[in-house]
Amino acid sequence: MGLFEPGRLGHLTLPNRIVMAPLGRARNDPDTRKPGALSVEYYRQRASAGLIISEATHVSAGSVSRPGTGAIHTAAQVEAWRRVTNAVHDAGGRIFQQLFHLGRKADPDRLPGRQPPPAPSAIAARGTLPGPQGPKPFPVPRPLRLGEIAALRDEFGLALVNASSAGFDGVELHAANGFLIEQFLRDDSNQRVDAYGGSIAARARFLLQLVDAALEVFGPEGVGVRLSPHFDIDGPGASDPALLYPYIAEQLGQRGIAYLHVIEPDSIPHPRKIAARLKEAFGGPFILAGEFTRDSAEAALAQSRADFIAFGRPFIANPDLVARFRQPEPVLNPTDEATWYSGGAHGYTDYPTLAQTLVNAG
Ligand SMILES: Cc1cc2nc3c(=O)[nH]c(=O)nc-3n(C[C@H](O)[C@H](O)[C@H](O)COP(=O)(O)O)c2cc1C
């Protein structure tokens, strides 16, 4: 199997195995958190990807961080996202929406009433939040009461219906990178002693309940999940990843969801690598992400380590990454980190296409 072989994913047939990884770019309206014309253009430019997974999108007003991150809990936001999905579809592409809640990583200064953000337990993330006066430590969060967990599930439920109304082909639940769903999974952030903490099954309960809610809206063909078993930037991580993550993969496999998406960079030492076990335990379409090049992606597909490969930073700087990868010796624009979250068109919609680069070189 190669990068340019079509592949089945849920109800979609992707024309290639190249997935655009979710990438928050902070270009939404700072007040309404709606995507505007610039984001429509950004996603349209990248529609040749086999599948686009949208930037992480907040499910509620209780999940807020830097200005410009997107949300999908109001009718106006749904309307704005519909322009994005229409543009991608009109350009021949496919797009899932990544949904998330920040949990303990929300910024209390931006939350209604300036309260501490909700999380499974009162344990602060390691590290800092960006603020107008410079970085500040993550807050100690407020542990969720049981009834509040049900309310949070309802918030996800509304966002799922909204994502469907906005025309997304499916949703990806963001259970990675230290945000709320992962905070439930990991025992360094979840020390609850009720139905949502303690055993692996209890820690996975919140995620699986959200998956079941997503199945009701999209059916199994329109639901994906992202996991990051090696993420340890904001704390030591789960004490038992080799048991926790295969359990989750197996549970997701039983539900027959469209795909499992795992971040496992090549640089992870071999004895800690777990993706192969997760792929086997899941048994369905498997997307692998993390530091891939065209050639390492081809190798991973050839060795059946993945069915699809997600590219993050290469898609920031190369709207036509698929066309570039078709070249015998792909030449990629380098990504400019200074413009990842800077706002505006520069570093967002103005990276040159291959054709423009060749004209300029000629
Ligand atoms: C600017 C930027 C924004 C990102 N935003 C998200 C996000 O919204 N959701 C997510 O799951 N991962 C996010 N990631 C992680 C990427 O999806 C991807 O896993 C990571 O960049 C590694 O892949 P790469 O080596 O191909 O870049 C982001 C990464 C970058 C560089």
Separation of CA 20 and ligand 1 centre (Å): 10
Question: How far is the C-alpha of 63 from the C-alpha of 108, rounded, in Å?
Answer: 10
| Residue 2: pLDDT over 70 | yes
Min mean pLDDT across 104-118, 221-235, 274-288 is at: 104-118
On whether the CB atoms of residues 61 and 74 are closer than 8 A, the answer is: no
Pocket probe for ligand 1: among 18, 19, 20, 23, the residue whose CB has the most ligand atoms within 8 Å is 23
56 CB less than 6 Å from ligand 1? yes
Determine whether the shortest distance from the Cβ of 176 to ligand 1 is under 6 A. yes
Q: How confident is the model at residue 74 (pLDDT cuts 50, 70, 90)?
A: very high
Q: Which residue has the higher pLDDT, 145 or 66?
A: 145
Q: Determine the average pLDDT of the residues in 143-159.
A: 97
- Give 315's pLDDT tier (boundaries 50, 70, 90): very high
Q: Cα of 23 to ligand 1 centre, how many Å?
A: 5
- Which pLDDT tens digit goes with each residue over 79-101? 999 999 999 999 999 999 999 99
Q: How confident is the model at residue 66 (pLDDT cuts 50, 70, 90)?
A: confident
Length of the chain: 362
Tokens, residue 189: 């952030």
pLDDT at residue 362, as a whole number: 66
Please state the φ and ψ torsions of residue 243, each to the nearest 5 degrees.
-105, -40
Q: What CA–CA distance (Å, rounded) separates 197 from 169? A: 33
Question: Which one is predicted more confidently, 50 or 65?
Answer: 50
Atom 14, ligand 1: which residue's CA is nearest? 23
Ligand 1 site-directed mutation target among 54, 231, 313, most atoms within 8 Å of CB: 313
- Which of the two residues, 134 and 234, has the higher pLDDT score? 234
- CA-angle at 119, arms to 118 and 120, nearest 5°: 140
At residue 249, does pLDDT exceed 80? yes
Say if ligand 1 is within 6 A of residue 290 CB. yes
Average pLDDT over residues 314-342: 97
Domain range list for the chain: 7-361
Among 113-117, 207-211, 274-278, 315-319, name the one with the lowest average pLDDT: 113-117
- What's the CA-to-centroid distance between 304 and ligand 1, angstroms? 23
196-213 pLDDT, tens digit per residue, is 999 999 999 999 999 999
Which among 241, 139, 270, 137 has a CA at the least distance from the CA of 182?
241
What would the 3-class secondary structure string for 121-189 be? Answer: CCCCCCCEECCCCCCEECCCCEECCHHHHHHHHHHHHHHHHHHHHCCCCEEEEEECCCCHHHHHHCCCC
CA-nearest residue, atom 16 of ligand 1: 312
Least confident range from 127-136, 187-196, 293-302, 308-317: namely 127-136
Nearest atom in ligand 1 to 172's CA: 11
Determine whether the shortest distance from the Cβ of 24 to ligand 1 is under 6 A: yes
pLDDT at residue 358 is higher than 80: no
Give CA 117 to chain center in angstroms.
Answer: 21
C-alpha span between 236 and 308 (Å, rounded) = 29
User: What percentage of the chain reaches a pLDDT higher than 90?
Assistant: 92
Ligand 1 pocket, residue 98 CB under 6 Å? yes
Give the C-alpha separation, 272 to 40, whole Å: 39
Which atom of ligand 1 sits closest to the CA of residue 341? 1
CA 22–ligand 1 middle distance (angstroms): 6
Count of CA atoms in the C-beta half-sphere (13 A) of 106 = 25
In whole numbers, what is the pLDDT of the chain averaged over residues? 96
Q: Which CATH architecture group holds 7-361?
A: Alpha-Beta Barrel (3.20)
C-alpha of residue 309 to centroid of ligand 1, in Å: 13
Percent of the chain scoring above 70 in pLDDT:
100
